[in-house]
Amino acid sequence: MHFNLNKIGLLLISILMASISNGQTEQLPPWQLGYLDIHHINTGRGDAAFMVFPDGTTMLVDAGDMSETHERTTSSRNAKLVPNRSKTAPEWIVDYIDQFLPKKQERRLDYALITHYHDDHFGEVDSLRKIAPGGYQLTGIMEVGTLIPIKKLIDRGFDFPLDLKDGKVQSQERFSNDKYGLIPTLKEYWKFIDYQSEKVGLKNEALKVGSANQIVLRHHPKDFPEFLVQNIASNGNIWTGFDDSFHSLFKKGEFHGENPLSNAIRIDFGKFNYYTGGDIAGIDGLGQTDINALESHVAPVVGAVDVATLNHHGNRDSQNPFYVRTIRPRVWIQQNWTADHPGEEVLRRILSKQLYPGDRDIFSTIMLQGTKDVIGGRLDQYKSQNGHIVVRVYDNGDTYKVYVLNDASEEREILTEHGPYKAR
């Protein structure tokens, strides 16, 4: 039998054009055993990253949910809730998880990791929030965990460097006058933990710095011996790089805000390495590299990675030159929600080939008009400025791709595909 290859090619093109004209779009191919998928979800209300490990173990990192009662949230300075206002940000996170959760698998999150207690990472209570059957307000991780069971919830704990459950600490001016309600939100969070622990067996733990066995594969760990999650930092405690030992930057009672207390982890799968560190920073108040900041201490134990999220959303106090030169990722991912991000000087540093040679691609979940007006054409160096950003790692960690999905659509079809990249 003889085939006319030209006719077959024309037929395939006509089928493709017909599907486009009929409004059909390409969906992300389903997760398969052996894939590591990292979905950076954009809701416009803060960070959320849904991960499916090679054996199907699932984890959510953060569930941002900034209050609609704040002027900043509803102004043009900040992103809009996407894809639309028919659901809350946590409901959209769960809707996303339901779409990409491995099929034929129990509907649950094996792990949820909260990097720190800020609204754009774990939620914020206000007068508009609904009340769950457990008596707590539905916001952020509390609403996510009410809609889909969480087996293990990991945070930074509550007793260091300050005991956040101590009434005297709670009455300090820094907390009593906090317009973003950290302590009131934590009180709802503790109610959530108590109720879900009794109802679904949720277990709550603080991140154990230095550990590589707190977050592990739950289904087929022996099939993927080169996969691990290494705990790097929490509460200013930094892994030394040896066994499970760490050193501390802060003393009891020494509180410099939530950001430097962020949980940080590195995920390794064969040759592939991924780093995420919440809102740690590395630039001092005068714009200089702070060698005593978290970034400067974390960088040497993280080492060079393939993919890294921008610390503190790319805020101007982050990505100091020493940190950038040390971790030198091939792909940077910016999870942001405001016109403040990225700082123009941050963009200069992460793009600088004086700091490290070679190509690097940058992706952002959103880029607001205010940022475009200020920074201008330098932003053209981003591979993508809007959408959910999916890193898919395969070939036992040798290869990965980056997909950008449409965050304005409930179907979340592919907008662009990048790679394949070779893990280093």
Report the SS3 class of residue 122.
Answer: helix
Instruction: Report, in angstroms and rounded to the nearest whole number, the Rg of the chain calculated over CA atoms.
Output: 21
**Stretch 38-46: mean pLDDT, rounded?**
98
Going by the DSSP 8-state scheme, the letter that residue 260 receives in this structure is G
Between 4-8, 60-64, 74-78, 319-323, the lowest mean confidence (pLDDT) is in: 4-8
Distance CA 234, CA 243 (A): 16
Distance CA 317, CA 282 (A): 6
Do 303 and 12 touch, CB atoms closer than 8 A? no
Instruction: Lay out the sheet containing 36-40: strands in order across.
Output: 203-206, 150-155, 109-113, 58-61, 49-52, 36-40, 388-394, 399-405, 414-422
pTM of the model: 0.94
**Residues 6+ positions from 31 with CB-CB distance below 8 Å:** 37, 52, 56, 100, 102
Amino acid present at 356: Y
Distance CA 265, CA 277 (A): 6
Q: Residue 104: its pLDDT value, please?
A: 87
Closest CA to 405 of 27, 102, 24: 27
Only one residue has tokens 């779409």, namely 99
Do 296 and 264 touch, CB atoms closer than 8 A? no
Report the SS3 class of residue 289.
Answer: strand
CB atoms within 10 A of CB 286: 6
- Statement: 34-422 belongs to CATH 3.30.1490.100: no
Q: What are phi and psi of 275, to 5 degrees?
A: -125, 140
Q: Residue 19: its pLDDT value, please?
A: 42
Beta-ladder partners of 52: 37, 58
Report the SS3 class of residue 305.
Answer: coil
Question: Can you point out the beta strands (E) in 325-413?
Answer: 331-334, 361-364, 382-384, 388-394, 399-405
177-197 tens-digit pLDDT: 999 999 999 999 999 999 999
Judge whether residue 37 has pLDDT over 70.
Answer: yes
Report the SS3 class of residue 198.
Answer: helix
Amino acid present at 270: G
Banded pLDDT at 24 (limits 50, 70, 90) = low
Closest CA to 25 of 417, 413, 416, 418: 413
Any idea of the CA torsion for 129, 185, 338, 64, to the nearest 10 degrees?
Answer: -80
Distance CA 400, CA 143 (A): 32
Distance CA 188, CA 124 (A): 9
Beta-ladder partners of 401: 392
363-386 tens-digit pLDDT: 999 999 999 999 999 999 999 999
Judge whether residue 18 has pLDDT over 50.
Answer: no
Percent of the chain with pLDDT over 90: 94
Q: Quick one: tokens of 86? A: 């028919």
Do 66 and 29 touch, CB atoms closer than 8 A? no
Instruction: Look at 309 and 14; give whichever has higher pLDDT.
Output: 309
Do 304 and 274 touch, CB atoms closer than 8 A? no
Domain boundaries in the chain? 34-422
Only one residue has tokens 């109610």, namely 191
Q: Quick one: tokens of 189? A: 């969070």
Q: Residue 202: its pLDDT value, please?
A: 98
Distance CA 35, CA 55 (A): 8
* Pairing label, strands 36-40, 58-61: unpaired
228-283 tens-digit pLDDT: 999 999 999 999 999 999 999 999 999 999 999 999 999 999 999 999 999 999 99
Do 64 and 46 touch, CB atoms closer than 8 A? yes
